[in-house]
Amino acid sequence: MIQTVLGKIAPEELGVCSAHEHLSIDLSRIKQDPDTILDDEQGMLEELEDFSHLGGNSMVEVTNDGMGRNVLLLQKLSEKTGVHIVACTGFYKDPYIPEYAMGWKAAEFAKHFIKEATEGIEDTGILPGVIGEVGTSKDEMKPIERELLIGAALAGVETGLPVTTHTTLGTLGYEQVKLLTKHGLPAEQIIIGHQDLMRDQAAVLAVLETGAYIAFDTIGKNNYRPDEERVEFLLDFISRGFEKQILLSADLTRKSHWKKHGGPGYGLVLRDFIPMLKSAGVSEEVLQHFLVINPSRAFSVKERAA
């Protein structure tokens, strides 16, 4: 089953899924930029409705405590739009980890995530469906980030929740998998984020070869990397037989990303990128894996032995 903000659903109910998004977020404490605050409820509704009209059925919302998480709002948005929303437990990376958790070790992180996964987020009763996005810095895994990732692994083993990660500009994806699996988390329970930002193809292949999922989840952010290059990498990965381990999304985090402010909106993968893949010869069967089948497997909560 998959845990959404409105309760459990069967994997086949998830439908077309955007695997790494933010609807309500506030990164301004660190970034000091009002553009990084998404708090317009009506705007969120309009964006979700547009996503739905383009064929989107579900969204994994990875805004955690320290990033402006608001699960009651996510619940309301899901009720109003019919879009399935999966919320998260977790912390992001240094320096976004909340002050109260900055001195924690892995066991304390794990305890906190397990509590939210079993009792609900804060006092809402809403259960998370994923641990994430937990991350590392660029080319560096800081001590607190290492403890955070180990805690996420331990919590994932205990709860069966998948763990979805942040890699800064795609770096350290393989190292993340190795650390998470070392502490007992199966590779098929891991989604390594932002791998479309990693220009070293061998580094991304190393992640795929572990059996973990990868997220091409900054689609449309051509200021980082042209989408044409993302397509080239995906064509190669498909030719190597890795199409069952790839997830797609856009990771919108700014007002300027929204359609009402002149941005592409959450529908950009379905509206712009999928036609690019079709034009490049990607089959409907592979696209079905990227959008529907892979997310339904990746975000299914694993049964744990009693």
Specify if 303 maps to a domain.
Answer: no
Provide the percentage of residues in the chain whose pLDDT is more than 90.
99
The answer to whether residue 304 is domain-embedded is no
Mean pLDDT of 229-234: 98
Instruction: Please check whether residue 306 lies inside any domain of the structure.
Output: no
CA atoms within 13 A on the CB side of 287: 15
Its pTM surpasses 0.95? yes
The residue among 232, 229, 264 whose CA lies nearest residue 249 is 264
Domain limits for position 249: 2-298
Q: Give the three-class secondary structure for 113.
A: helix
Count up the domains in the chain and report the number.
1
Length of the chain: 306
- Per-residue pLDDT, averaged over 123-147, amounts to 98
- Name the band, by pLDDT with cuts 50, 70 and 90, for residue 213: very high
pLDDT band at 306 (very low <50, low <70, confident <90, very high): very low
Number of neighbouring beta carbons within 10 Å of residue 47: 25
Structure tokens at 262: 């002149």
Nearest C-alpha neighbor of 177 from the set 165, 195, 160, 159: 165
Among left, alpha and beta (phi > 0; psi -120 to 50; other), residue 216 is beta
Cα Rg of the chain, angstroms: 17
Distance CA 188, CA 201 (A): 21
Query: Does 39 fall in a domain?
Result: yes
In a domain, 305, yes or no: no
Averaged pLDDT for residues 161-181: 98
Task: Inform me whether the pLDDT recorded for 88 exceeds 80.
Answer: yes
Check residue 303 and give its pLDDT: 82
The fraction of the chain above a pLDDT of 70, given in percent, is 99
pLDDT for residue 96? 97
Flag whether 149 is in a domain.
yes
CA–CA separation, 112 vs 109, rounded Å? 5
* Tens-digit pLDDT profile for residues 3-27: 999 999 999 999 999 999 999 999 9
pLDDT digit string, tens, across residues 104-122: 999 999 999 999 999 999 9
Residue 133 lies in a domain: yes
Residue range 188-211: average pLDDT? 98
Identity of the amino acid at 149: L
Q: Regarding beta strands 7-9 and 130-136, do their DSSP bridges make them parallel or antiparallel, or are they unpaired?
A: unpaired
Average pLDDT over residues 227-242: 98
Rounded CA gap, 206 and 192, in Å? 12
In a domain, 228, yes or no: yes
CATH assignment of the domain containing 57: 3.20.20.140
Question: Above 90 in pLDDT, residue 305?
Answer: no
